[in-house]
Structure 1
């Protein structure tokens, strides 16, 4: 066999640059795996957008947390918030104006404990999207005995007399008003502890009953030591 009889191998076909005569552009020229990846990313984006939209709709339609308006737990927290606010105001005035160390300490203890409790009660009501206080003149409805004022609350005349006092007269007025205030709230605390449906609220009511019962004993003794008697219940 001569060199001239050897057939040369065929030339490889020309490889054109990425080009799509059919007008498909980059997508048509891409490899199959690239198309699969792009499609998967597009599906993922659609799923994320759909999930976000669903979450936003769910936020608008989700029910409120906690018991409904009119429930015992709600009514107790709303009424007791009003009750506590007045006790805190009287305690702050006494602490700031008394010259008796024992009374100053008692007032500080009442102010501190009831301020903390008030914060808890307000926080629960806000979480449940309920008004944080009872409307004026509509108290005790949750106990089936609506009243224009709550037991133990000092009148404006009582508060003016208290603030106008000084020395031992100030201390006696504080002890009398706060003692009656504590005693007036006991029925609300006991009702919540016995009939409430939210465990943290019933536990708070029991704790209030224990601490305020102890303070009632202390204030009764302090009044007697100063030759004074408790006020009649309201």
Structure 2
């Protein structure tokens, strides 16, 4: 049993090493860029989930928020772990803009379902602004539920766009598999959130 775990760990380590001559993705590669940007993206999803958890007693919304926070916190740990494994910085090199790794990154930032703007946040698809997070923290009950579901719908729409780009552009097999899993999982949650909004007489913002 112990040997099997060791073998599995070695396989996972090797699969994350990349396919380049050095076995490590370049700092400006899609693999590194996706890991950096999606780690930031996921962190905000976790933050929003914790905010709404304390603003509503609705069990369905609280359960969804818990699932999102748990899943994305775990995925974020994997992404940051790969950057450590590759000995690459967790910040974009030489002050490069977020999404520079993604073909048409700025265009996706504008049309990826996000309403954020300013401070670099607007370049990350679907990210909420500081004002929107503050507003979410000031709501309660159904108002908090609806705004959370709208913000998270934007967030997931942007996340799917990013993950689809990695599935196409990334070279590290294990990261590509994670990206494809993100697409499937977040698309499923998008359908659930549309239904939850409809049940509250609301709809996504875009």
TM range (shorter): 0.7 to 0.9
Q: How far off is 1:212 after superposition?
A: 0.3
Distance 1:176 1:101, change over 3 A: same
Q: How far off is 1:146 after superposition?
A: 4.8
Structure 2 residue aligned with 1:152: 126
Quote the RMSD (CA, aligned, Å).
1.7
Counterpart CA distance in 2 for 1:107 and 1:191 is: 25
Structure 1 residue aligned with 2:6: none
Q: How far off is 1:139 after superposition?
A: 0.8
Q: Alignment partner of 2:101: what SS?
A: helix
Counterpart CA distance in 1 for 2:140 and 2:178 is: 35
Q: Say whether the 8 Å CA contact 1:153–1:184 is kept in structure 2.
A: yes
Q: Write out the 4+ residue segments of structure 1 that deviate beyond 3 Å after TM superposition.
A: 133-137, 144-148
Counterpart CA distance in 2 for 1:215 and 1:127 is: 31
With the length of structure 1 as denominator, give the TM-score of the two structures: 0.69
**Aligned: 1:143 with 2:102:** yes
Could you list the per-position Cα deviations for residues 62-117 of structure 1 after superposition, in whole angstroms to 9, with x for gaps in the alignment?
x9752111111111111101100100000111123321000000000000000100
Structure 1 residue aligned with 2:169: 195
Counterpart CA distance in 1 for 2:22 and 2:56 is: 45
Counterpart CA distance in 1 for 2:96 and 2:198 is: 34
What is the correspondence of 1:152-231 to structure 2 with a 5 Å cutoff? 152-231=126-205
Q: Relative CO higher for 1 or 2, CA cutoff 8 Å, sep ≥ 6?
A: 2
Structure 2 residue aligned with 1:4: none
**Aligned: 1:89 with 2:53:** no
Question: Gaps spanning 5+ residues in structure 2: where?
Answer: 1-20, 107-119
Larger radius of gyration: 1
Question: Gaps spanning 5+ residues in structure 1: where?
Answer: 1-62
With the length of structure 2 as denominator, give the TM-score of the two structures: 0.78
